[in-house]
Amino acid sequence: MDLGIAGRKAIVCASSKGLGRACARALAEAGCALVLNGRDKEVLSRTATELRQATGVEIHEVPGDLDNPATRTELIAACPDADILVNNNGGPPHQAFGEITRETVLKGIESNMLTPIALVQALAPGMVERKFGRIINITSSSVRAPIAGLDVSSGARAGLTAFLASAARLFARDNVTINSIQPGSFDTDRAIAGLSRAAAQRGVSVDAARTDAKARIPAGRFGDPAEFGALCAFLASAHAGFITGQNILIDGGGFPGAF
Ligand SMILES: NC(=O)c1ccc[n+]([C@@H]2O[C@H](COP(=O)([O-])OP(=O)(O)OC[C@H]3O[C@@H](n4cnc5c(N)ncnc54)[C@H](OP(=O)(O)O)[C@@H]3O)[C@@H](O)[C@H]2O)c1
């Protein structure tokens, strides 16, 4: 399928690795020019080089911490007329409920709610004016079904979801959509770190923890980041203008509900 977005410009936040990188790759394959971001300059540069070589699209690198307003200003300056914004960021650390502090809650809200909202506020008015915009937020399946230890993540991302629900309807008439993708378990560095922690807690090997985790997913496997990227590119496509304000689970059947 031709996604109809060749030549469009996309800012993909936190995109040097994992799910963000996979979204960047799928958008580049669809012909979008990209602005990529991540804190580690070398990793970012490696990813940008790989994507340039694989797809030939124009790629601008903005290294830096997204939670720093100066990084966000630089991202916006690199592409003030972005057609597509993929909001992604690092996730809050796993933390037992009793260990959560006001500071960790504030940090989670900053990273996973306030930062994406600030980018939407900066970029959506231009999209509305140009009558095309696609905003995709990477949230989590934990917004829909709790995961113990990820309370800060779930709460901050649920806040983002509810906050943007009204804006999604406000901008719909101007062909600007806002949707979230809720990942279950995907094979990324973050997921591997989670497995190592679970293995240490249970006193089993990482391989055993991996086998158990896969067995709990109806699909019997973790998601491939490329599958995530393909969904993101579709939501960013010319064909997805009638989908807005939605939260799309991609979890191999992990969520145990009919709806
Ligand atoms: N993978 C899963 O199964 C899964 C499931 C549910 C939710 N999620 C959520 O989805 C998001 C992406 O996860 P992932 O698995 O792709 O993680 P990942 O493999 O660890 O990749 C995270 C990416 O974000 C960048 N990053 C992290 N903090 C940043 C910051 N403050 N400013 C700029 N860039 C930053 C990282 O680069 P640097 O470290 O160099 O900055 C890296 O490129 C996270 O919020 C995660 O909690 C993931």
Site to probe by mutation for ligand 1, drawn from 21, 36, 39 as the one with most ligand atoms within 8 Å of Cβ, is 39
User: Coil, helix or strand for 236?
Assistant: coil
DSSP 134: E
Pocket lining: 67 vs ligand 1, CB cutoff 6 Å: yes
Sequence letter at residue 230: A
Q: Ligand 1, from 17, 94, 111: best to mutate by most atoms within 8 Å of Cβ?
A: 17
Length of the chain: 259
- Is the separation of the CB atoms in 153 and 182 below 8 Å? no
Query: What gap in Å lies between CA 221 and CA 190, rounded to an integer?
Result: 16
User: From the CB of 185, is ligand 1 less than 6 Å away?
Assistant: yes
Q: For residues 24-38, give the mean pLDDT.
A: 98
pTM, 2 dp = 0.98
Confidence of residue 91 (pLDDT cuts 50, 70, 90): very high
Residue 2 CB neighbours (<10 A): 10
User: For residue 18, how far is its CA from the centre of ligand 1 (angstroms)?
Assistant: 6
Alpha helix ranges (H) inside the chain: 18-29, 41-55, 69-78, 102-109, 115-130, 151-172, 189-202, 206-215, 225-235
Distance between Cα 133 and ligand 1 center (Å): 23
Q: Is the pLDDT of residue 109 over 90?
A: yes
Q: Are strands 133-138 and 84-87 parallel, antiparallel or unpaired?
A: parallel
**Helices 18-29 & 225-235, crossing angle to 10 degrees?**
50
**191 and 222 Cβ atoms separated by less than 8 Å:** yes
Which residue type sits at 187? D
* R_g (Cα) of the chain, nearest Å: 18
Whether residue 192 has pLDDT greater than 90? no
Mean pLDDT of the chain: 97
Percent of the chain with pLDDT over 90: 96
Q: What is the mean pLDDT of residues 93-118?
A: 97
pLDDT band at 210 (very low <50, low <70, confident <90, very high): very high
Q: Which atom of ligand 1 is nearest to the CA of 67?
A: 31
* 136-152 residue pLDDT tens: 999 999 999 999 999 99
Best probe residue, ligand 1, of 21, 111, 144, 190 (max atoms within 8 Å of C-beta): 190
Confidence of residue 31 (pLDDT cuts 50, 70, 90): very high
